[in-house]
A = this chain, B = another copy of it.
Amino acid sequence: MLKDYARPDDGLDKESRKAETKRLQKLLTAQQVTIREAKLPVVVLVEGWAASGKGRLINLLISEIDPRFSGVFCGEARTVDAHRYPFLYPYFCALPEDGKFLFMDAGWMEAAVRERCTKEIGEDMFRRRIESVNRFERQLRDNGYLVLKFFVNISKDEQRSRQDELKSDSDTSWRVSEYDEYQNDHYTRFRDAYDEFMEETGGIFPWHVLDGTKFGKLSYDAYRLLTETVEAGVAAGRYHGKAFDEYFPMHETPRLEDVDLSVRMDRDEYDKELKELQDRISELHNRIYRKRIPVVVCYEGWDAAGKGGNIRRLAYPLDPRGFDTFPIASPEPHELARHYLWRFWRRIPRTGHVAIFDRTWSGRVMVERIEGFCTEDDWKRAYNEINEFESELHDWGAVILKFWIHIDQETQLQRFNDRQNEPSKQWKITEEDWRNREKWPLYEEAVSEMLEKTSTEFAPWHIIESNDKLYARIKTLRIVVDAFERAIKERDD
């Protein structure tokens, strides 16, 4: 606890500490090769008081690491647009690739404590931030990340005198922000918030409080802990978390075999209602935009189920300034080398924007499961990770719409044959589609499990009967209109 913090004494004199630091520095240089070979991603979070020397410490730590193997994230520098994104967004987006170091100059702790102590958020929201952080850190651990967390501590007087010194020189005075001074003025409030945060978030990766009074000691301690942690992490090998069932309120989604695929809509009715719904969506999109409600629309479905046409009908009435469509293909190397949700986090819309995903993160429990692109632990754990991800989006205020575009095997066969026989459609059909078709029973099992395990109250799956594409499009747009209207009404109340 910072409250009862006593400065530790390691019994080393200055000279031997210096020599020891040099040795550890060399060790770290060697470890960069080890972690690269072990494909271990390492996150070093350096939190602490303003003016405690976090930046200087990070610069020293990276000074002997090749820039090819390390990156630096600055909590402060990346906040231009931060309030338009979910709390965890910048941290997820910053995750390093396998085999690399990421050093963070303040991160999720500072962001939460700052909001709390400047009273932007209340105690309830602070608790929710803590919960988010615990889930985030567990996901990191389970997906093989090594996370080392420092808090650099200095006393109120020490902080004040450092701030005074910085302010006395016109070249450095800008470094002391209003917030930094506020922190010093309310030192006790911040200390208690840091304490509370550390106490509640030490379960996955422990906190290490370092004494920032003397830089020599600070850097020696940091080197020691870092090299020890890397050594232990490499020895233990990359961790794969087991499946873990957290409680989420679930939504009852029909079973695939109970879905009635015979539903139809005639062309005249379709044309009329399509126009009405699109006009309505266009109006509502204006309000969504103005009220800064973020919207995430997910499309999954069988090959040839009609996702593309369905998406186009939804996109047409949207203002292009306010939406993006993300077609999701196989991950590229830099995406594969990170937490599988990374590439989706990076595509989260800003508040007021709509993101349409043509295939989604649920690929983890479908194609990746069936094709063996991840381990059994990985995909079994993913149901919970997906629910956590969507719950973050929901808590942030997002409307989440998930559509499973459904057809039966005969309809798929007919559409495949149509594509094969119609020159203008042949690009739509590949050998892989035929191979996937043979795995229909495997996919059916995976899809059923996905529908069952990731249909939460805040992000339920909607099964869209699409043997008749017209019916499917209208049903989808109706659900969109309904969700938009409810979200707008909630904000009005």
Interface size class of A (residues with CB under 8 A): 35 or more
Q: Are B30 and A316 in contact (CB under 8 A)?
A: no
A72–B316 touching, CB < 8 Å: no
CB distance from A427 to the nearest CB of B (A): 4
A 170-197 binary contact with B (CB < 8 Å = 1; else 0): 0110110000000000000000000000
Q: Name the 7 nearest CB pairs between A and B, nearest first.
A: A67-B325, A68-B327, A33-B427, A74-B321, A72-B320, A77-B321, A63-B316
Residue-by-residue, is A319-338 near B (CB-CB < 8 Å gives 1, otherwise 0)? 11110111101001110000
Roughly how many angstroms separate A290 CA and B358 CA in the complex, as a whole number? 43
Q: Return chain B residues, CB-CB under 8 Å to A308.
A: 66-67
Query: Is A430 close to B, CB under 8 A?
Result: no
Specify which of B80, B312, B321 is in contact with A80 (CB 8 Å cutoff).
B80
Q: Is the CB of A72 within 8 A of B290?
A: no
A260 to chain B, nearest CB (A): 29
Within 8 Å CB of A77, what residues of B? 321-322
How far, in Å, is A53 (CB) from chain B's closest CB? 12
Quickly give the copy total for this chain: 2
A63 in contact with B105 (CB, 8 Å): no
Most interface-central of A59, A287, A317 (chain B CB within 10 A): A59
Contact partner of A356 among B67, B80, B286, CB < 8 A? B67
Once the chains are docked, how many angstroms separate the CA of A303 from the CA of B443? 50
Q: Does A199 contact B (CB under 8 A)?
A: no
> B286 touching A59 by the CB < 8 A rule?
no
Question: Measured between alpha carbons, how far is A87 from B268 in the docked complex, in Å?
Answer: 50
Minimum CB–CB distance from A280 to chain B (whole Å) comes to 12
Given the interface contacts A80-B80, A358-B67, does A171 sit within 8 Å of B287 by beta carbon? yes
Minimum Cβ distance to chain B for residue A331 (Å): 11
Write out the residue numbers on chain B whose beta carbons fall within 8 Å of the beta carbon of A334. Answer: 332
Residues of chain B contacted by A59 (CB below 8 angstroms): 315-320
Q: Which B residues are CB-close (under 8 A) to A76?
A: 321
* Candidates B60, B72, B105, B283; contact of A171 at CB < 8 Å: B283
Within 8 A of B (CB), among A26-48: 29-30, 33, 36-37
